[in-house]
Structure 1
Amino acid sequence: MADKGSKGHYRYHWQSHNVKHSGVDDMVLLSKISEDSIVENLKKRYMDDYIFTYIGSVLISVNPFKQMPYFGEKEVEMYQGAAQYENPPHIYALADNMYRNMIIDRENQCVIISKRSSV
């Protein structure tokens, strides 16, 4: 389900996502959390070009090995000032949340970017 956001564009609601086809946006919602279920969820999402997935406050990104239209002005507007779960998982949501925590709450922030080679 999408509703019109304050900036005039449609916002995504994470609970409306079709789990059967593209997995879950946040893997804490998996009915069984195991290595197999995590890999299966990431695979489903990857096959539908969803390269970002949350596991709680952690963002997982799978390299699509192709150009993706995820980094334009539309996405900047969509994620700026939005709560983390108002839109699909994205690096901009993480960055905006961290920026707000740093400025408003005066909390130190840390980002860890790790690369895992294919098996």
Structure 2
Amino acid sequence: MPMPPPPPRAWAWCRDDVDGYLPVKVSKQNTTSATVQLPSGETKIVPSSDILDPIQHPENLEILQDDLVQMDDVNNMSVVDNLRRRIAAEKIYTSVGDILIALNPYKQLPLYTPTVIDDFIKRDPVDLYPHVFGVAMGAFRNMIAERANQSILISGESGAGKTEATKQCLHLLSEVARGEGGEMEMTGIEEKILMANPVLEAFGNAKTVRNDNSSRFGKYMQVHFNQKCVIVGCSTTNYLLEKSRVVSPASGERNFHVM
């Protein structure tokens, strides 16, 4: 059953070609068009069909919610708007309970400094802000508490930042589970793993329309710990290679870097 149109001067969600959805204040609406005020203060006329559900709690539009589960109104519009405002504030991580959403900012941000690492190692991630370090630290602490294997699943579309997220998880683990002396003190385990990455990428990465170095295969990494919870090695298994690319790359794309 379609939602009734919002009353005049009420807040509602409006479709937007750039941002997906925007909160607007509707000042006038008929069957074909509506006059709305955008968050920027600009007034414009939009099709009535672009006006969606009323906003039940407009006072929350200024809140950057760390955890989407805690939102008063959870729907497509409110989730997209919260993520849009968070990335604009350079907060690229957002929680959904135990799940972490990461948005690629396509620029360098001071998110992985020694100070940030130290915070997540010494403090409970629950008391901190959403971060990939919190996911890695949570898995490490659960491994110690439960004496059981833990898994971190990283997925997303091409260019989303999966490789970077994997690198940062390994970075945190290498800092918190470093051995006493030896070569491990000189070279982090994530560096050793990443040294093998160019070889794997050469045979499994390709240029796509959206990403010049897109992974066309999956990687399953097992980080091995000893009884003292110190990293002693890592094994990598590749799978799901996009073999169809060998014989029929799409228009504007390329085959694997090395054939």
- Mark yes or no: TM-score above 0.5: yes
Q: Which structure carries more relative contact order (alpha carbon 8 Å, separation 6+)?
A: 1
Q: Would the aligned equivalents of 1:82 and 1:93 in 2 still touch at CA under 8 Å? A: no
Please give the per-residue CA displacement for 1:6-57, whole angstroms capped at 9, x wherever unaligned: xxxxxxxxxxxxx654520000011111122111111010000000000001
Matching of residue 80 in structure 1 with residue 128 in structure 2: no
Counterpart position of 1:11: none
Matching of residue 43 in structure 1 with residue 84 in structure 2: yes
Matching of residue 90 in structure 1 with residue 131 in structure 2: yes
Alignment equivalent of 1:115, drawn from 156, 177, 189: 156
The two structures have a TM-score, normalised by structure 2, of: 0.36
Rg (Cα) greater in structure: 2
State the percentage of identical aligned residues.
31
Counterpart position of 1:101: 142
Amino acid at match of 2:117: V
Aligned-residue RMSD, C-alpha: 1.8
Q: Which runs of 5+ in 2 are unaligned?
A: 1-59, 161-259
Report the structure, 1 or 2, having the larger strand content. 2
Amino acid at match of 1:69: P
Distance 1:64 1:109 in 2: 28
Distance 2:71 2:105 in 1: 23
Q: Would the aligned equivalents of 1:22 and 1:45 in 2 still touch at CA under 8 Å? A: no
Q: Which runs of 5+ in 1 are unaligned?
A: 1-18
Amino acid at match of 2:96: I
Amino acid at match of 1:98: A
Q: How many residues align?
A: 100
- Note the C-alpha offset of 1:86: 1.1
Alignment equivalent of 2:68, drawn from 21, 24, 27: 27
Counterpart position of 1:13: none
Distance 1:48 1:21 in 2: 12
- Note the C-alpha offset of 1:77: 0.6
The two structures have a TM-score, normalised by structure 1, of: 0.76
